[in-house]
Amino acid sequence: MADTRHGEPSDVRLIIDVARRLRNFDLRVTVVSPADRVVLFGPSGSGKSATLQMVAGVLRPEYGRIQVSGQLLLDTTSGKNLKARDRNVGYVPQGYALFPHLTVEQNIAFGLPRDQKRERSRVDELVHLVGLEGERRTHPGRLSGGQRQRVALARALASNPRVLLLDEPFSALDPVLRPRLRDEVRSIQQEAGVPMIVVTHDLSDAFQLAEWLVVLDRGSVLQQSRPDEVFNRPATVDVAKLVGMTNLLPGRVIGSDPTGIDVEWHGHVLRSEPGESISSAPYPVGCPVIVGIRPTSLMFRLAQRSYEGRQNVLGGHIVREVWSAESCRLSIRVDPSHSEHDLEAELPGYAYYRLELDQRKDVEMSVRPSLVHVLPMSDSLPS
């Protein structure tokens, strides 16, 4: 990543390369994104908000370089550091920070560039864009969480920013409202045609908003890639845990060929076929590895069907069922019993009844080899 410093390829949309000592850890983050919609994802205290504040110009890195859409905002080696007021970013902090003494339209007008201060039409346009025509003269204290978020978004867009910076934009919202506002933010952003960096600790936010997903923990980037890549092929066990790949099975490589790897796990053979050509066979035979399987990747066999000739077939019985609104999460003890490695499976409610799981607890499952992911044993990447 360090060699991006000279002659970035033209498809690089965003560079963040910053370092700073924070209270609990050293932040050292390098993001190079080819896409306009970037999500910084990680648990709380991972340094993602601090990184966003550095892009906004309200927190100063000890050294670093930030470039957004070809515009250099900060470069400590050349001593360049645009002040927050000169960066032209649309920063929406957690909790939105609306000005409580101003009405909705005054809040939005606050973001207008100086030469447009008197342009009513621009405020009208933004009020319309976020659908708050009825609340123009309302103060933020009287708005709902979703309305506040939209005011904050309109205020940020009013300055015609070169990038929108949203810190946990949905965390203060009703969970029922979240998906709708997520869609709304995405469509408003696309309509306005402004690049966006979103900070979130929520997996669904990350997956649905990101074109480029950056996974952070304790001040470091664990992985950055297209979101489906991160979700299906996490680089490390830590990333796998963060992105909800809960089945992490320790095994040993027993075979490897150009299309896939066979891993032995407690007497079962699990075959992984990543699809793309396997990069120079990183896992030699005998190598201890972790097999990662998402809970939604396990397929159950109907009671009357046979799995003859299929790969990655596992038998077992259900030991626990946890229902949420639309889906059921099952804990399955695989035969022969390994209580310390129960598999977790998640399936929609209708599938549960279609499979007659209310009547039988013994199940047979299979996993497509393309959905079996092999991870290195330790968190250091195979060289």
Partner 1 sequence: MIGGIDPADVRITLQVATLATMLCIIFGVPTAWVLARYRFPGHAFVEALVTLPLILPPTVVGYYLLRTFGQSSPIGRFLDEELGVHLVFTWWGAAIAASILSAPLLIRTAQAAFERVDPELERVAATLGRTPVGVFFAVTLPLAVRGVAAGIALAFARAAGEFGATIMIAGNIPGETRTLPVSVYDAVQVGDIARANATALLLISITMGVLLFFTWATLLVAREQ
Instruction: Point out which span in 36-44, 90-98, 352-360, 374-382 binds partner 1 (CB under 8 A).
Output: 90-98
Task: State in angstroms the smallest separation of the CB of 218 from partner 1.
Answer: 24
Instruction: Point out which span in 81-89, 183-191, 247-255, 345-353 binds partner 1 (CB under 8 A).
Output: 81-89
Instruction: Look at residues 272, 288, 298 and name the one whose alpha carbon lies nearest to residue 382.
Output: 288
Among 87, 122, 150, 373, binds partner 1 (CB under 8 A): 87
Q: Are strands 288-293 and 80-81 parallel, antiparallel or unpaired?
A: unpaired
For partner 1, the closer of residues 56 and 132 by Cβ is: 56
Among 7, 9, 79, 100, binds partner 1 (CB under 8 A): 100
Please state at what angle helix 145-158 crosses helix 120-129, rounded to 10 degrees: 140
Distance separating alpha carbons of residues 104 and 252, to the nearest angstrom: 60
Tokens of 280: 């120079």
Task: State in angstroms the smallest separation of the CB of 128 from partner 1.
Answer: 20
349: contact with partner 1 by CB under 8 A: no
Tokens of 15: 């560079």
Q: What SS3 state is found at 120?
A: helix
195: contact with partner 1 by CB under 8 A: no
How would DSSP label each residue in 168-229? STTTTS-TTTHHHHHHHHHHHHHHHT--EEEEES-HHHHHHH-SEEEEEETTEEEEEE-HHH
Number of residues that bind partner 1 (CB under 8 A): 26
Distance separating alpha carbons of residues 12 and 4, to the nearest angstrom: 9
Instruction: Point out which span in 18-26, 67-75, 77-85, 339-347 binds partner 1 (CB under 8 A).
Output: 77-85
For partner 1, the closer of residues 100 and 258 by Cβ is: 100
82: contact with partner 1 by CB under 8 A: no
Site for partner 1 in 47-66 (CB under 8 A): 56-58
Among 6, 23, 114, 137, binds partner 1 (CB under 8 A): 114
Q: Residue 316 belongs to what H/E stretch?
A: strand 313-323
List residues binding partner 1 (CB under 8 A). 56-58, 83-93, 95, 97, 99-101, 110-111, 113-114, 139, 155, 159
